[in-house]
Structure 1
Amino acid sequence: MNHIKGKIAIITGASRLKGIGAAICRALAEDGYHIFFTYWTEYDKAMPWNIKSNEPQILKEELRQKGVMAECMELDLSNPNASVQLLNLVNDQLGHPDILINNAAYSTNNDFSNLTVEELDKHYMVNIRATTLLSIEFAKRFDKKFGGRIVNLTSGQFRGPMPGELAYATTKGAVDALTITLSAELAPLGITVNVVNPGPTDTGWMTATVKNNLQPLFPFGRVGRPEDVAKSIKFLVSDEAEWITGQIIHSEGGFRR
């Protein structure tokens, strides 16, 4: 693992132990990456899945037990200055990061009949504005000739409609467009930019009914797990993926919409 010795990865949105963010942290830590993750418990406590307030601290200690450095911070990504705050703290506590995983997302149910300006703005500020500003700040500070990695998370918005999630689909779809253009701009800096669509993933939000309805749509006979997308991202940040950029990777087990 000499090629990743000392590399530092930022993962946003790793509040919950069952979530995709936590799975990404574990997968990268197991390969020797040092980890800095963000969380925002106020959002998760308002969601149906809820969380225990000590889950981020449990995750941090779990990562440290894997033999890597691990730090975290509670961060409201809707704050316009969040990207600067985050990169400053990462630099102070771990050093200059090599990898940025934009995993954090804001999502509530709404459609054309009830979507408000305030709710649309909340989706925009986290899903697209924060992703853009974090990526820009990361790139501006990247001080190496190659090996930089940005991986965004999306939900396959261009593969089919998402009725009842108008704001989420709109803002997450913009992440695909951001990825394609930003990848061309950052390639000369030695940074690849890709986006991963994990498809429906059981992170604790699926009821038994939802899971039973989804399983027939997966040819493998099961729904997605957080570890599935974490494996895809582990590859995209590796040296083996240095020639892959500007791609939308549908890592969703053949899910049929």
Structure 2
Amino acid sequence: MPRLPHPAPEDLRRDPLPLRGRTALVTGAARRGGIGHAVARRLAAHGAGVYLHHHVPHDEAMPWGADRPEEVAASVRDALGDPDAPVVHGPGDLADPSAPAELVARATAALGGRLDILVANHALSGSDGPLDAIHAALLDAHWAVDTRSVLLLVQAHARLRPPGPGGRIVMMTSGQDIAGGMPGEIAYALQKGALASITRSLATTLTGRGITVNTVNPGPVDTDYATGEAYEAVAARFPAGRWGMPDDPARLIAWLATDEAAWITGEVINSEGGFRR
């Protein structure tokens, strides 16, 4: 087999819009303080059309609350200075087993009949505890949202997207397999761990269709859920003396979506800023 030549000089020059003409679905993008919103901004800034998925009732039930979906979409457009940028939004309760395929189909249609990039950022928050506190219904709830829905999204994306280069899937995990684990969130850690474990198998399955599959552990990110002494204690464990911000993992995820990352697949990548566990 002949060796591939070095890239031509013009191929080494960075395109300011490396995702021009491509489209992306970002799940769990219901509020401007979250990672999903930051990812959408980065993908759109790279030229991609973006569909923002939200499940407002989930965030409304959390201490941090939810934003209006129109405001989240407008924020993505405003960051680009283009009020007509292709940014669409829509709801979906991914605990419903039929919702993932419906969401992918809806996003594909809204973005011109093609979906290239899937960022499965959503998760079930709260409703968890240590080993002695968990029960079957709690485990089932986390399984349905944190794991089953992600695999069904991946399945639907692979079925609808025509084979060819440029396909990208990024899943999210939470460092549950790093020193210390997550003993206070057993159900969440279990289901996120399943995504880390299946990453390589999905990558092997989809490489022939031109789709890379990677999982990102963003580490502790300031998405408005911690305050006071707990916030300061976590900040002190970063060499930089600050929490990760939503745009920190978003930059990595956006890069994984570009052609620069075409050779990266089957990986679980930690983006923790040197966090000391």
The verdict on a shared fold, with TM-score over 0.5 as the criterion, is yes
Structure-2 separation of matches of 1:168 and 1:10: 23
After superposition, the C-alpha distances for 1:148-173 in whole angstroms (9 at most, x for unaligned) are 00000111111032121000000000
Pairs within 5 Å for 1:228-239: 228-239=248-259
Pairs within 5 Å for 1:3-18: 3-18=18-33
Question: 5+ unaligned residues in a row in structure 2: which ranges?
Answer: 1-14
| More displaced 10-residue stretch of structure 1: 143-152 or 165-174 | 143-152
Task: Quote the offset at 1:57 in angstroms.
Answer: 0.9
Give the secondary-structure state (helix, strand or coil) at the position aligned to 1:72: strand
Query: Which of 194, 210, 231 is the equivalent residue of 2:230?
Result: 210
Give the secondary-structure state (helix, strand or coil) at the position aligned to 2:131: coil
Task: Quote the offset at 1:3 in angstroms.
Answer: 4.6
Contact 1:16–1:22 (CA under 8 A) maintained in structure 2: yes
Task: Quote the offset at 1:72 in angstroms.
Answer: 1.1
Pairs within 5 Å for 1:76-95: 76-94=93-111, 95=113
Structure number with greater Rg is 2
Pairs within 5 Å for 1:129-140: 129-140=148-159
Structure-2 separation of matches of 1:113 and 1:163: 10
Give the secondary-structure state (helix, strand or coil) at the position aligned to 1:37: strand
After superposition, the C-alpha distances for 1:172-213 in whole angstroms (9 at most, x for unaligned) are 000101211100110111100000001000010111212210
TM-score between the two structures when normalised by the length of structure 1: 0.95
Contact 1:7–1:34 (CA under 8 A) maintained in structure 2: yes
Aligned residues: 255
Structure-2 separation of matches of 1:38 and 1:50: 16
> Which residue number in structure 1 is paired with residue 43 of structure 2?
28
Structure-2 separation of matches of 1:164 and 1:47: 18
> Which residue number in structure 2 is paired with residue 45 of structure 1?
60
Structure-2 separation of matches of 1:133 and 1:183: 15
Structure-2 separation of matches of 1:222 and 1:3: 30
Structure-1 separation of matches of 2:18 and 2:129: 45
Query: Which of 138, 142, 146 is the equivalent residue of 2:165?
Result: 146
- 1:59 is the counterpart of 2:72: yes
| More displaced 10-residue stretch of structure 1: 107-116 or 177-186 | 107-116
| More displaced 10-residue stretch of structure 1: 245-254 or 90-99 | 90-99
Contact 1:132–1:178 (CA under 8 A) maintained in structure 2: no
Identity %: 40
Structure-1 separation of matches of 2:244 and 2:77: 27
- 1:183 is the counterpart of 2:199: no
Structure-1 separation of matches of 2:47 and 2:91: 23
Task: Quote the offset at 1:216 in angstroms.
Answer: 2.1
